[in-house]
Structure 1
Amino acid sequence: MTDALLIIDMQTGLYDGPDKPFERERVLGTINHLIQGARNAGAPIFVARHTGPAGSPIEAGSPPWQVWPALDVDEARDHLFNKTRPSCFLGTDLAQQLHAAQVNQLVIVGMKTQFCIDTTCRVAAELGFSVLLPEDGHTCMDTPTLSAQEIIEHHNATLAGAFVKRVRATEIAF
């Protein structure tokens, strides 16, 4: 059994949209560090792109839909896939790919904390995967009600225990 890195929605339209994610440069650096660790260990890397319907700002193939160029993704080696829901599992073959690769533990990073990170962590746990959530490896934007920092802190605390093992990115060894 092995570990895998799952990177969620690090796309141009979200990362560099009108509302910038909290500590986006630091989070990008953290994710790139995890990518290198996974690559060095031969762990599979899965990259989810949220895909909107035709005519939406993040429709397949549009510039905002593309993976952020500074993300160290290798499209020839890494497993890129599209999703249309907050869960990386619903409507995709991610679970089948993880089982085929004999993955039992997922390291989940990316965007947006309160939507796709939260949902994917919960569903992964329900599907029997062990989940490591780097508390410093996901981000989102401020909302009218809560700051991004508050959202991140809340989800780190809420997901820990029942759904994920909360860690710092530097504690992860693939």
Structure 2
Amino acid sequence: MAAALLIIDMQTGLYDGPHKPFERERVLHTINQLIRRARTAGAPIFVARHTGPADSPIAAGSPLWQLWSGLEVDESRDYLFDKTRPSCFLGTDLAQQLKQAQVDELVIVGMKTQFCVDATCRVAVELGFSVMLPEDAHTCMDTPALTAKAIIDHHNETLAGAFVKRMQAAEIGF
């Protein structure tokens, strides 16, 4: 069995929206480094796009729904899929695609920490996958209650142990 990289919601509408993600350039650089390492190792790369209803700003095909242009995804060989819920598994064929690729471990990165990253980490474990969470490769925006840094720190701490193996992206190999 093998590891795969799962990139969540690195889309124009979130990455370049009116409220910028915390340390967005650093996080993008870190995710691109992981993409390069996964490619070198021959590890599969899965890329989720959050998709809203036809009348929403992130409707399929809309400008804000597109992957951020600086993300080094190769649509000809990476597995891109759309989701409508925080979990990358609910309503998608991701679990089947991972099993078909003989993946048993996921490296989960992307946006937003407190929603889609958190939900996907928890569900992945429930489905029997081992999860590595690079603590420096996911992000979100400030909220009225908490800063993005506090949200990220909290989720790194909360998910570690019970749900994920937390580490620095530089420590991750495929």
Residue in 1 that maps onto 2:65: 65
Q: Distance in 2 between matches of 1:59 and 1:100?
A: 29
Calculate percent identity across the aligned residue pairs.
79
TM-score between the two structures when normalised by the length of structure 1? 1.00
**Corresponding residue of 1:56:** 56
Supply the distance in 2 between the matched residues of 1:155 and 1:52 (Cα, whole angstroms): 25
1: CA distance between counterparts of 2:126 and 2:165? 14
SS of 1:124's equivalent in the other structure is helix
What is the deviation of 1:25? 0.1
TM-aligned CA deviation for residue 80 of structure 1: 0.2
Equivalent position of 2:119 in the other structure: 119
Q: TM-score, normalised by structure 2?
A: 1.00
Deviations 1:61-114 (A, max 9, x none): 000000000000000010000000000000000000000000000000000000
Query: Which residue in the other structure is 1:97 paired with?
Result: 97
In structure 2, give the amino acid aligned to 1:16: D
1:15 Cα deviation from its structure 2 partner: 0.1
Q: How does 1:1-174 map to 2 (within 5 A)?
A: 1-174=1-174
Runs of 5+ in structure 1 lacking a partner? none
Letter in 2 for 1:135: E
Partner amino acid, structure 2, of 1:164: V
Deviations 1:12-35, CA, capped at 9 Å, x for gaps = 000000000000000000000000
Structure 1 counterpart of 2:166, which letter? Answer: R
Which whole-Å CA distance do the structure 2 matches of 1:45 and 1:106 have between them?
10
> Counterpart of 2:42 in structure 1: which amino acid?
G
Query: Once superposed, which parts of structure 1, at least 4 consecutive aligned residues long, lie more than 3 Å away?
Result: none
SS of match in other structure, 1:163: coil
Cα shift at 1:49? 0.1
CA distance in 1, matches of 2:52, 2:60: 7
Per-residue displacement from partner, 1:27-47 (whole Å, max 9, x unpaired)?
Answer: 000000000000000000000
Q: 2 CA distance for matches of 1:125 and 1:157?
A: 16
Cα shift at 1:8: 0.0
Q: 1:39 and 1:78 mapped to 2: Cα distance?
A: 10
Q: Equivalents in 2 of 1:142, 1:101: separation in Å?
A: 36
Instruction: Read off the aligned partner of 1:69 and give its amino acid letter.
Output: S
